[in-house]
Structure 1
Amino acid sequence: MKLVYVFDAYCGWSHGFSGTLREIAFRHPELPVEVVSGGLFTGSRRVPIREFGYVEGANAKITELTGAEFGPAYARLIADGSFVMDSEAAARGVVALRRAAPDRALELATALQRAFYADGLSLSDAATYRTVAAEAGLDADAVVAAFEGAEAPAAAEADFHQAADLGVNAFPTLLAVDGHTKTVLARGHATPDDVERRLAVHVASRTS
């Protein structure tokens, strides 16, 4: 059995779920965690952030429920409303980091969200991945090369297709996957204890 975490690096609710996910991973080191990008802001949704009028209100709700922080650098980045959240670029970055350290995919995904939501760094900028990689002790040149490489767009699309094949259309979603069986442990907001209870039910159903 493994956990599959389908998120979007530009999704505020995914940012808010990071603490729960880290706690579950800590409680269950025996469960590998696969990280998949869902592709929230692609196609017609790849527009200036001002067109999403709910962002500030949603962020306030996320902070209220999860304690997740949205830093002043992030506020400055989006202040004039022109910033475009491009989930294809973010997914290319997730793939690049994941390839550099597959067993640290969860750690790197949450670091990427901190880079945007706390440090105000664009996830479309290669320099952001250089910074995240360097701080994680990875080969920053290799990560940037993978982010910018010719194969990167197809790798991002592969993540989006995987998310769709899993039946995920809301982010974040955490699944327990065991062969062809999958159980939703969380969709959107959930506490560690919420996830723990659902995981226990899933495990019990496998052994009954």
Structure 2
Amino acid sequence: MKLVYVFDAYCGWSHAFSGTLEEVVARHRDLPVEVVSGGLFTGQRRVPIREFGFIKGANAQITERTGARFGGAFDALLADGSFVMDSEAAARGLIALRQAAPERAAELAVAMQQAFFHDGLSLSDAKTYRTIADAFGLDSDAVVGAFKTSAADADFALAARLGVSSFPTLIAMRGNDAFVLARGHATAEQIEQRLAALG
């Protein structure tokens, strides 16, 4: 069995799920975790962040429900309103990091969300991935090179094939059978119960 975590690096609810993901991974070191990017902000949704007027209220709700925090640098980005979230670029960043350290994909996904939601860094900027790679002791030149040349299509196609349309979604895969453990917010305890039920 393995876990498949489908998230979008620009999704506030995915950011809120980071603590749960880290706890589940820590409890199940024997379970491989594959991290897949969804395409939340692609095509016509690649517009300045001010166009998404609901984000500030949604983030307040996320903090209230989950305790997840948003940093001052991110709040400044939101207040300015001109930043464009591009899930295709973020997916390429995940691919680049994942190639460098596949066994640390979950940690790297969390680090990407920290970079954006705490530090206000762009996930379209190669420098962001150099910073993350350096922090994890990875080959930052290789990561930046892969970020520039990767394609997100396979990740988006896999998310669609798994039937994932909302983020985050955590799935247990046994052979070709997929079992949804979480869609949106869930606690580590809830996921434990669902995993236990699978035997």
TM over 0.5: yes
1:92 maps to a residue whose letter is R
1:176 maps to a residue whose letter is A
Per the normalisation by structure 1, the TM-score is 0.94
1:31 maps to a residue whose letter is L
Deviations 1:121-180 (A, max 9, x none): 00001110010111111111110011012xx12xx1100000000010000000000011
Give the secondary structure class of the aligned counterpart of 1:137: coil
The alignment status of 1:138 with 2:138, answered yes or no, reads yes
2:165 maps to a residue whose letter is N
The alignment status of 1:79 with 2:79, answered yes or no, reads yes
Aligned counterparts of 1:15 and 1:28: Cα–Cα separation in 2: 20
Aligned counterparts of 2:77 and 2:126: Cα–Cα separation in 1: 16
1:144 maps to a residue whose letter is V
Aligned counterparts of 1:141 and 1:109: Cα–Cα separation in 2: 19
Task: Give the structure 2 partner of residue 66 of structure 1.
Answer: 66
Task: Give the structure 2 partner of residue 206 of structure 1.
Answer: none
Give the secondary structure class of the aligned counterpart of 1:40: coil
* Per-residue deviation, 1:33: 0.5
Task: Give the structure 2 partner of residue 201 of structure 1.
Answer: 197
1:116 maps to a residue whose letter is F
Aligned counterparts of 2:57 and 2:190: Cα–Cα separation in 1: 25
Aligned counterparts of 1:133 and 1:77: Cα–Cα separation in 2: 23
Where in structure 2 are there 5+ consecutive unaligned residues?
A: none
1:115 maps to a residue whose letter is A
Give the aligned length.
199
The alignment status of 1:55 with 2:55, answered yes or no, reads yes
Aligned counterparts of 1:19 and 1:66: Cα–Cα separation in 2: 10
Aligned counterparts of 1:64 and 1:44: Cα–Cα separation in 2: 30
Give the secondary structure class of the aligned counterpart of 1:138: coil
2:80 maps to a residue whose letter is D
The alignment status of 1:118 with 2:114, answered yes or no, reads no
> Once the two structures are aligned, what percentage of the paired residues are identical?
69
Per the normalisation by structure 2, the TM-score is 0.98
Task: Give the structure 1 partner of residue 174 of structure 2.
Answer: 178
Deviations 1:60-86 (A, max 9, x none): 111112221100011112222111100
2:26 maps to a residue whose letter is F
Of the candidates 151, 162, 183, which is equivalent to residue 166 of structure 1?
Answer: 162
Task: Give the structure 2 partner of residue 25 of structure 1.
Answer: 25
Structure 2 matches for 1:143-162, cutoff 5 A? 143-149=143-149, 152-153=150-151, 156-162=152-158
| Runs of 4+ with >3 A deviation | none
Give the secondary structure class of the aligned counterpart of 1:79: helix
Deviations 1:94-129 (A, max 9, x none): 000000011110010100100000111000011100
Aligned counterparts of 2:34 and 2:75: Cα–Cα separation in 1: 30
Moved more, 42-51 or 83-92: 42-51
Give the secondary structure class of the aligned counterpart of 2:80: coil
Aligned counterparts of 1:65 and 1:20: Cα–Cα separation in 2: 13
Give the secondary structure class of the aligned counterpart of 2:64: helix
Where in structure 1 are there 5+ consecutive unaligned residues?
A: 204-208
